[in-house]
Amino acid sequence: MKMLTYSNNDQMPALGLGTWKSDPGVVKKAIIEAIAIGYRHIDCAAIYGNENEIGEALQECIKNGMVKREDLWITSKLWNDAHKREDVQPALEKTLADLRLDYLDLYLMHWPVAFKNGLSFPENSEGYLSLKEAPLAETWQAMQELQKQGLAKHIGTSNFSIHKLEQLIAFGGQKPEMNQVELHPYLQQQALIDFCHQNDIHVTAYSPLGSMDRPEVFKKEGEPIPLENETIKAIATAKSISPAQVLLAWPLHRKISVIPKSTNPKRLQENFEANGIALSDDEMGTIAKLDQHERIIDGSFFVAEDKGYTVQNLWDE
């Protein structure tokens, strides 16, 4: 298994299992199946609404000796409604209780966007807190406290731009150790990756397969679908592997973690095997040409202009 190494020498399996859109009714079975296949890294988030079922699966697998806690890498994410200093630790404690764990391996700020506590998705800008009311630095300070207490061994961010990462680094203390972002051949994020790697920040690719099971509100007409790209399909055919395996081997080759979601045993196995697939320099070069800077998750659902949130200043581009 390819590993990413942290500054204290902790090792995270680069290929993990995504759980966004894994329904509570099926996710428990999928986690048990994944652990049986050999997955040791599970990517979770409070907002996915399934941490309780994932916790049941983890508890079962640890209890029956399938896996030891210390051999698992469990990531979760702080939701936007818990950015105020006093809300951060209770949010992590809820996640730990749901997951039946006493620590996380990695805890991420899910978005650089803040809501009033208790609002999962505010209906209008009233429910938002501006970055003056809930500064990212305040949340980051509280995240560092969690790390000091050992509740989260590593801390990081998700959906942060270079500019926002620079702000957190300038704030001092622990730097973000991970930035999880959307990443696939249509959104290659080379500048962000270069910045992260120069600053010892690991990167995780979400939506590596294009997240075609995402809710309709996140879909745009005519958008490109990575799994159906002709270049990806041609590379797959030439290597007698699947298009999904090409899409997963590609970030691993760039020393990026990747977290494909599946609840299907055959596809869980297929995705896991991407770990052993090598791509040639030629194949990497061909995929590099597919970039369109096209976001699936474009952040437009977090626009609240009177609180300072626009698509432009979300991504700082």
What amino acid positions are annotated as catalytic residues? 48
According to DSSP, the residues that pair with 310 across neighbouring strands are: none
Q: Residue 221: count other Cβ atoms within 10 Å of its Cβ.
A: 4
Q: How far is the CB of 60 from ligand A2P (least distance, A)?
A: 21
If one asks whether residue 210 binds ligand A2P (CB under 6 A), the answer comes out as yes
Amino acid letter, 220: K
If one asks whether residue 164 binds ligand A2P (CB under 6 A), the answer comes out as no
Asked if 82 and 146 count as a contact pair (C-beta separation under 8 A), the reply is no
Stretch that binds ligand A2P, among 72-80, 88-96, 254-262, 306-314 (CB under 6 A): 254-262
If one asks whether residue 213 binds ligand A2P (CB under 6 A), the answer comes out as yes
**194 exposure class (CB count in 10 Å sphere: 0-12, 13-18, 19+):** exposed
Nearest C-alpha neighbor of 105 from the set 157, 143, 142, 147? 147
Count residues binding ligand A2P (CB under 6 A): 19
Using CA atoms, how far residue 152 sits from 83, 106, 270, in Å, is 16, 6, 31
Structure tokens at 151: 């509740």
Q: How far is the CB of 22 from ligand A2P (least distance, A)?
A: 7
Site for ligand A2P (CB under 6 A): which residue of 16, 156, 185, 208? 208
According to DSSP, the residues that pair with 203 across neighbouring strands are: 179
If one asks whether residue 267 binds ligand A2P (CB under 6 A), the answer comes out as yes
Q: How far is the CB of 53 from ligand A2P (least distance, A)?
A: 15
* Interatomic CA distance for residues 137 and 64, integer angstroms: 42
If one asks whether residue 299 binds ligand A2P (CB under 6 A), the answer comes out as no
Site for ligand A2P (CB under 6 A): which residue of 75, 229, 271, 275? 271
Q: How far is the CB of 132 from ligand A2P (least distance, A)?
A: 34
Stretch that binds ligand A2P, among 123-131, 203-211, 215-223, 231-239 (CB under 6 A): 203-211
The Cα angle at residue 296 between residues 307 and 19, in degrees rounded to 5: 95
Footprint on this chain of ligand A2P (rule: CB under 6 A): 18, 207-213, 227, 242, 244, 260-264, 267, 270-271
